[in-house]
Amino acid sequence: MSTLAERILGAGAGEYVDRQVDHAFAHDGTGVLAHEAWKQMNADLAAPEKLSLIFDHITPANNSTTAGLQHELRDFAEEKGISFSDIGGGICHQLMSEGRVLPGEIVVGADSHSCTMGAFGAFATGVGATDMAAIWASGGTWFRVPESIEISLSGSLRGAAEAKDLALTYITRLGMDGGTYRALEFTGEGAEGLGMSERLTLCNMAVECGAKAGMFYADQTTRRYLREFGHDVSIQKREKAKYIQEVSIDLDDVAPLLAVPHRVDTTAPVEKYAGTHLDQIFVGTCTNGRYEDLARFAEIVKGEKVRVRTVVAPASRSVLMKAIETGVLGTIVASGCAVCTPGCGPCLGAHQGVLGEGEVGLSTANRNFRNRMGVGAEYFLSSVATAAASALTGEITVPEVGE
C-alpha cells in the first residue's frame, strides 16, 4: 500500500533512490547554465532522446547577450539531436503537457514549476541547472522519496470560482513552506470532476507551498485527454496510503481570491481590494495561459474595451492556433489587449510588459514576489475571471457569478 509518489519511485517515504528519468527538459535560461556545467563534466549525453530544450523565458531575445547565448544553445541541441523548441513554440511545462508526459513516468525539469506534469499521474519535479547537467551525463538522478499530503476535494467549483482560486486556497491553508519536500496528492470526487487544464493549474502551483510534486491519479479524464495525442494509457487506482497530513476542501465554498503583494500564501477575497487602481493586467503563463483560460477571458471581454493596458500571452503555439481558429484571439485583440509571442511573457520580469516603479499590476501568474515583475512595483495574483472583470474597469473588480 503506497502513495502515488512512492509507487512511481518504487520505495517508501524517506528512502533514497537512484532512478533513470523518462523526460528531462530545460529552457533558455537554465539550459545555458546546464550546458556550461555539462561541458565542465567532460561527459557525453547518456540518453539524448529523453532530453528537451525549450526556449520560452526570454523569447524573442531582449538583447544581444541573450541572443548570443541562445544561439549557442541552438547549435548544441542540433549537434546532439536533442528535441528542441524555438521562439514561439511555447512554455516548457505546456509543451511537455501536450502529449509528451504519460502516467507513471519520472519527469525532471530545470525549472521549479516542473511539478505541473503531475497532473497526468507522473512524478514530476524541478531541479537546478547543475543537477540537470548530471542527468544529461548519466540519464538519471537521485531522489529522497517524499512524504505525501492528501488534498481531499469534494463538491464542485461554482459561480466565478476557478482552479486558480482553489490553488490559492490550498496554498493559504498550508502556508508558503507547509509542503516543503512533500508530494501533494489531490484526491476525492471533487478532484475527479476537474478537467486537465484545471489539474495542470493546481499541480503547477504546488511548489508555491514548497512541495516537491503535485499529483493527480490518472483517470478517464486523463485517458480522454491523452487519446487526443495518440496515447492509450491505463488508469491508476488508489491504494490505502499513509499521509503525513490531510487537508479537506469543499469546492462549493471556494470563492474568487487575490494573492496580496508580496506573498502567494497571503490571500484575501477579491472584494476586499475592489476599486484598487491597476496599471497593467497580465493573462498567461504556465499557470493560466491555456486555451481554456484564453476562451474564458474572451467570453468576459467580448464586445467590450479594456480600460487598462492588458497583456495576453498564449502558453504555446497550439494554444495560439486554436485561439485563432475559434475566434477567441480576435475577440481578445478587438477588446484592446496586446498579445505576446507564446511563452512566459513578462512573468519573470525580463521583457514584454515589465511594470514600472510604483505601478500596480494584476497577474494570472504563480508568483508575486517583490521586484519579480518590475522593481518597485506591486502585483496581485488572481484567476482569469477576476483579471477579465478588472480589465474592463481598470481596477480590481469582483467577477460576476455569470462570468
Instruction: Give the domain range for residue 273.
Output: 257-391
Residue 110 and residue 142 in one domain: yes
Q: Is residue 131 part of a domain?
A: yes
Cβ neighbourhood burial of 86 (10 Å; 0-12, 13-18, 19+): middle
Per-residue pLDDT of 359-397, as tens digits, reads 999 999 999 988 988 899 999 999 999 999 999 999 999
Tell me if 207 is assigned to some domain: yes
Neighbours of 111 (CB within 10 A): 28
Q: Are residues 242 and 281 in the same domain?
A: no
Distances (CA, A) of 1 to 11, 242, 260, 346: 11, 8, 40, 44
- Indicate whether 228 and 284 sit together in one domain: no
Instruction: Let me know whether 178 and 314 are in one domain.
Output: no
Quick one: what percent of the chain has pLDDT higher than 70? 99
Same structural domain, 36 and 180: yes
Quick one: pLDDT at residue 221? 98
Is 107 within 8 Å of 114 (Cβ atoms)? yes
The alpha carbon of 366 is separated from its chain's Cα centroid by a whole number of angstroms, namely: 7
Residues 16 and 77 in one domain: yes
Give me the pLDDT at residue 1, please: 84
Per-residue CA distances from 401 to 62, 161, 255, 324 (Å):
40, 8, 10, 27
Are 52 and 147 within one domain? yes
- pLDDT over threshold 70, residue 403: no
Residues 215 and 282 grouped into a single domain? no
What pLDDT digit, counting tens, does each position of 248-272 carry?
Answer: 999 999 999 999 999 999 999 999 9
Is residue 175 domain-resident?
A: yes
- Residue 401 maps to a domain: no
The residue whose grid cell reads 508575486 is 368
* DSSP three-state, residue 187: strand
SS3 content of the chain, % helix, strand, coil (to 5): 40, 20, 40
Is 337 exposed, middle or buried (CB count within 10 Å of its CB: 0-12, 13-18, 19+)?
Answer: buried
Do residues 237 and 106 touch, judged by C-beta distance below 8 A? no
Q: Which of 213, 228, 251 is the last residue of a domain?
A: 251
Tell whether 278 and 231 lie within a shared domain: no
In a domain, 356, yes or no: yes
Does residue 39 sit in the same domain as residue 149? yes
> What is the helix (H) or strand (E) element at residue 314, kind and residue range?
none
- The string of pLDDT tens digits covering residues 46-82 is 999 999 999 999 999 999 999 999 999 999 999 999 9
SS (H, E, C) 265-287: CCEEEHHHHCCCECCEEEECHHH
CA angle 254, 256, 260 (to 5 degrees): 115
Contact 74, 86 (CB under 8 A): yes
Q: What is the CATH number of the domain that holds 265?
A: 3.30.499.10
Please state which of the ranges 2-6, 303-307, 320-324, 344-348 shows the lowest mean pLDDT: 344-348
Residues 93 and 151 in one domain: yes
Burial zone of 237 (CB within 10 Å; 0-12 exposed, 13-18 middle, 19+ buried) = exposed
Q: Is residue 36 part of a domain?
A: yes
**Boundary residue ending a domain (211, 228, 251):** 251
Last residue of a domain, one of 220, 251, 282: 251
Q: Which of 355, 312, 352, 317 is nearest to 336 (CA)?
A: 312
Same structural domain for residues 151 and 274? no
Give the count of domains, the chain. Answer: 2
The pTM for the full model equals 0.95
Tell me whether residue 270 is in a domain. yes
Q: What is the mean pLDDT of residues 171-193?
A: 97
Report the distance separating Cα 4 and Cα 96, nearest Å. Answer: 20
Which residue is it, cell 499521474? Answer: 121
Is 118 part of any domain? yes
